[in-house]
Amino acid sequence: LGPVFGFSVTFDVNSGSTVLVTGRISLIFDEKNYSIKTMNIGDKAITYRAYENVIYVSNPVDAGYEIMNIYVPEEYYQGKTIGGYTAETAPIFLPNKVGGYMPAKPDSPGFKQDGSPNASLVALSKGYIVASPGARGRTLKDEKGLNTGKAPACIVDLKAAVRYLRLNDKIMPGSAERIISNGTSAGGAISALLGATGNNADYEPYLEEIGAAKVRDDIFAASCYCPITNLDNSDTAYEWQFNGVNEFNFAGRKGTLTEEQIKVSNQLKAMFPAYVNSLGLKKADGTPLTLDSNGNGTFKEYVKSFLIASAQKALDKGVDLSSIDALTIKDGKVVDIDFEKYIKYITRMKPTPAFDALDLSSWENSLFGTATVDSQHFTKFSRENSTKAGTLADAKTIKMMNPMYYIGTKGTTTAKYWRIRHGAMDRDTSFAIPVILATKLQNEGYDVDFEMPWGVGHGGDYDLEELFKWIEDTVK
């Protein structure tokens, strides 16, 4: 089969905790290499074939991470249908477990901390094929000590996984034309990138290098929980929202912004309107979404409208909101939210700049490192104000990590369907970030389901029944 796909297949793989690789690895799915597993959701037994640690590139940089777990409901091998799907038509659910832009292993069906079934197990129970890719991340090193998982490695790997599924579409159960990506936080950001950047040539040299299949890498739909995305505009967005709140509490590091940091916060806040205004975003009714130099305007009202809708939904479900001072509720209707009051109520998480730290200490600084440099800046502002004489990441790399530059552009196949969730208590990034992403997608003609669920903090997969209902609606 090798020559058909333009490479020779000489391989030697032991897929266990240590992986030995010599030569190029076959990209052809081995149907026979599975084990049978069963898990229960309540009384219902879910039996499935487990293909685990399948290397999805022919020339892996790190064969401990460029691997995928693939799970197929056993009933499909008995010619049965599940929820109307057959082995050929079943959509492929593609959850990644990336967090903090760290290296990530593939997911497996199982249970969450609260004992409920995880997304992969729910997906199997509903007849989906589950394909969970691992990916390289920012702390990974090779045996020589060189960094191997800096940007754009994580998105390159996920694209390669999609390509593997498409290359093998005929011989694998499920439809590679119905891939639904899912991820949370950094994983939500990579899910957004996967959805936004399909087939774009920028990633091609990187895909070539790792021996990814030479087929399309666009996907059908992207589910993104609290995507920590649009990183090069996240500092200004954060200060637009949190300026004036000087106490922060980040992963146990509590503190108060210094005079110098307050000055930086003011500077960053002042830069945000120009960015929003440059996007030319519009509401569904055509109203331009803009901000004045103080950060007020239709864009801010629009952000508030999602919080108001969210509070209304909670109120309608019987949640007691009477203690939330920021809300104005009249006759069972949430009529307004005092944005500044609400932001004080949820509190600031990160000091400033929240993402491109002046001392190069953030996870994102580490994401934008190189093979030999651990951390870099990725905004002009922080590069110019660096306290560590940090260098600026390459412009192309910064671009390749931001879906905003690709949505609906020429030479790109952006996913048609999007579901974006960002909790109304989530302070890991500004509310403006998911709102901008959702609105840009909508304005470019994509189908977007965006909400900011009330009382929800930084996390994902908390509404799996609704997630899979949404997937059903998109595929049928």
Q: Do 363 and 185 form a contact (C-beta atoms < 8 A)?
A: no
Task: State which of residues 2, 86, 89, 99 lies at the interface with ligand DHB (CB under 6 A).
Answer: 99
The count of other CB atoms within 10 Å of the CB of residue 246 is 16
- Closer CB to ligand DHB, residue 99 or residue 457? 99
As a whole number of Å, the end-to-end CA separation of the chain is 35
Query: Per rule CB under 6 A, is residue 452 in the interface with ligand DHB?
Result: no
Which residues of 321-436 form beta strands (DSSP E)? 327-330, 333-337, 417-421
Q: Which is nearer to ligand DHB, 186 or 276 (CB)?
A: 186
CA dist 377 and 357 (Å) reads 8
Decide whether 91 or 460 has the Cβ nearer to ligand DHB.
Answer: 460
Subset of residues 347 to 376 that bind ligand DHB, contact rule: CB under 6 A: 363
457 interacts with ligand DHB by CB under 6 A: no
Question: What is the closest distance, in whole angstroms, from the C-beta atom of residue 354 to ligand DHB in the complex?
Answer: 8
Q: Please answer whether residues 90 and 82 qualify as being in contact, where contact means their C-beta atoms are separated by less than 8 angstroms.
A: yes
Least distance to ligand DHB from the beta carbon of 149, Å?
Answer: 14
Are the beta carbons of 172 and 70 closer than 8 angstroms? yes
CB of 133 to ligand DHB, least distance (A): 16
Answer for the pair 71, 124: CB distance below 8 angstroms, yes or no. yes
**E strand or H helix at 74:** none
Residue 366 Cβ vs ligand DHB, minimum distance, rounded to whole Å: 10
Q: Which of residues 287-346 bind ligand DHB (CB under 6 A)?
A: none
Give residues 220-279 in contact with ligand DHB (rule: CB under 6 A).
228
- Measured CA to CA in angstroms, residue 54 lies from 164, 274, 371 at distances of 10, 46, 26
Burial of 318 (0-12, 13-18, 19+ CB in 10 A): exposed
Residue range at the interface with ligand DHB (CB under 6 A); choices 47-55, 94-102, 201-209, 260-268: 94-102
Asked if residue 386 lies in contact with residue 358, where contact means CB atoms within 8 angstroms, the answer is yes
Alpha-carbon distance 337 to 79, whole Å? Answer: 54
Choose the binding region for ligand DHB from 59-67, 98-106, 115-123, 327-335 (rule: CB under 6 A).
98-106
* CB of 185 vs ligand DHB, minimal distance in Å: 3
Contact (CB, 8 A) for 128 and 348: no
Stretch in the footprint of ligand DHB (CB under 6 A) among 97-105, 113-121, 151-159, 302-310 = 97-105
Contacts of 258 (CB under 8 A, 6+ apart): none
CB 376 within 8 A of CB 360: yes
Query: Which amino acid is present at 161?
Result: A
CB of 330 to ligand DHB, least distance (A): 36
Residue 428 engages ligand DHB in binding (rule: CB under 6 A): yes
Segment interacting with ligand DHB, rule: CB under 6 A, options 99-107, 205-213, 324-332, 402-410? 99-107
Among residues 302 and 363, whose Cβ is nearest to ligand DHB? 363
Can you tell me which residue has the tokens 């996920």?
158
What is the smallest separation between the CB atom of 37 and ligand DHB, expressed in angstroms? Answer: 28
Candidate ranges 68-76, 96-104, 404-412, 448-456; the one touching ligand DHB (CB under 6 A): 96-104
Q: Which residue is nearest to ligand DHB (CB)?
A: 185
> 50: how many CB neighbours lie within 10 A of its CB?
16
Residue 184 · residue 225 · CB < 8 Å: yes
70-78, 95-103, 371-379, 462-470 -> range binding ligand DHB (CB under 6 A):
95-103
CB of 461 closer than 8 Å to CB of 118? yes
Cβ distance to ligand DHB smaller for residue 355 or 468 = 355
C-alpha 221/C-alpha 223 separation (Å) is: 7
Binders of ligand DHB among 383-422, rule CB under 6 A? Answer: none
Q: Which is nearer to ligand DHB, 399 or 458 (CB)?
A: 458
- Alpha-helix residue ranges (DSSP H) falling in 64-201: 119-125, 153-167, 186-196
Taking residues 185 to 224 in sequence order and writing x for each that binds ligand DHB by CB under 6 A, - otherwise, the string is xx--------------------------------------
Q: Which is nearer to ligand DHB, 235 or 428 (CB)?
A: 428
The nearest distance, CB 457 to ligand DHB, in angstroms, is: 11
The least distance separating ligand DHB from the CB of residue 349, rounded to whole angstroms, comes to 7
Q: Residue 109 corresponds to which amino acid?
A: P
Answer positive or negative: Cα dihedral of 458, 460, 462, 466: positive
Chain contacts with ligand DHB (rule: CB under 6 A): 99-101, 185-186, 228, 363, 428
